[in-house]
Amino acid sequence: MTDKTPPGRNKERSKQQLLDAVGKLLKTEGFTGLKVNDIAATAGLDKKLIYKYFGSRDNLVDEYISSLDFWSNVSQDQAPPVITDGGQDFTKHMLLQQYDVLDGNDELQKLMMWGLYESRKSLKAVADEREAVGEVLLTNITDPFFGKFAKEYRSTVGILIAGIYYMNMYAGVNCNTFCGIDITQPEGKQDIKNALVNLVDLFYKDIEAKKQEG
């Protein structure tokens, strides 16, 4: 782990080192640990450069946040080519992927907590982007399928996603059970995933039945 930064001076590289330092500190210390001195020290550079290159700590932090892109892949990666089941399979995969993206991803977990705690423009932008990505899928895939039940689907999936988020954040700090489930353990993770899949199946089955009725 001997960091072999090539010698010499380079503005762009230094800027990147500062941005990286923000990420590293966010992961290890949380957002309260993003102090000018510490960022500079972590980057192995002088703090003056933060002001020189970014104007302020806040600009640096915002630029770091904006550079992140945790969610865009959720839309691309796995929207199946053709949807014939009203998105049932897709919904399940999407939920499981959301789970996996978050699981053990300290940086993202800390970022989401930060977003829950502070209403910072750049953080809200992250939330908005995730919401926008989701909205495309909802509007194009599930809304048409569910028709008058579209809102029920949205509420249901919303709860499930929110549940995934909270559970992972909870597990990140409190190495602890939640409702007796320990999702720091592989077994607990599987339990949650099973429950998610099961709930989606139950929901779809129920809606199908309701549709039949009239």
Partner DNA sequence: AAATTTTGTCACTATTTAGTGACTTTGTTT
Partner DNA sequence: AAACAAAGTCACTAAATAGTGACAAAATTT
Residues of the shown chain interacting with DNA in the complex, contacts defined by CB under 7 A? 7-11, 13-14, 35-38, 44-49, 51-52, 56-57
Distance of closest approach, residue 154 Cβ to its own copies, in angstroms: 5
Distance of closest approach, residue 167 Cβ to its own copies, in angstroms: 5
The binding site for its own copies (CB under 8 A) comprises 30, 32, 113, 115-119, 124, 127-128, 131, 134-135, 138, 151-152, 154-167, 169-170, 172-174, 176-181, 191-192, 194-196, 198-199, 202-203, 206
Nearest residue to 60 (alpha-carbon basis) of 83, 93, 38 = 38
Residue 46: which of its own copies, DNA, none does it interact with, CB under 5 to 8 A by kind? DNA
d(CA 161, CA 183): 16
Phi then psi for residue 181, to 5 deg, are -100, 130
Query: In this structure, are residues 106 and 172 in contact, taking their beta carbons and an 8 Å threshold?
Result: yes
Distance of closest approach, residue 127 Cβ to DNA, in angstroms: 24
Q: Which is nearer to DNA, 14 or 168 (CB)?
A: 14
Nearest residue to 196 (alpha-carbon basis) of 104, 96, 105 = 96
Distance of closest approach, residue 59 Cβ to its own copies, in angstroms: 20
Rg (CA), the chain: 21
Q: Which is nearer to DNA, 46 or 201 (CB)?
A: 46
- For residue 169, give the 3-state DSSP assignment: helix
Q: Which helix (H) or strand (E) holds 155?
A: helix 150-173
Q: Which is nearer to DNA, 17 or 109 (CB)?
A: 17
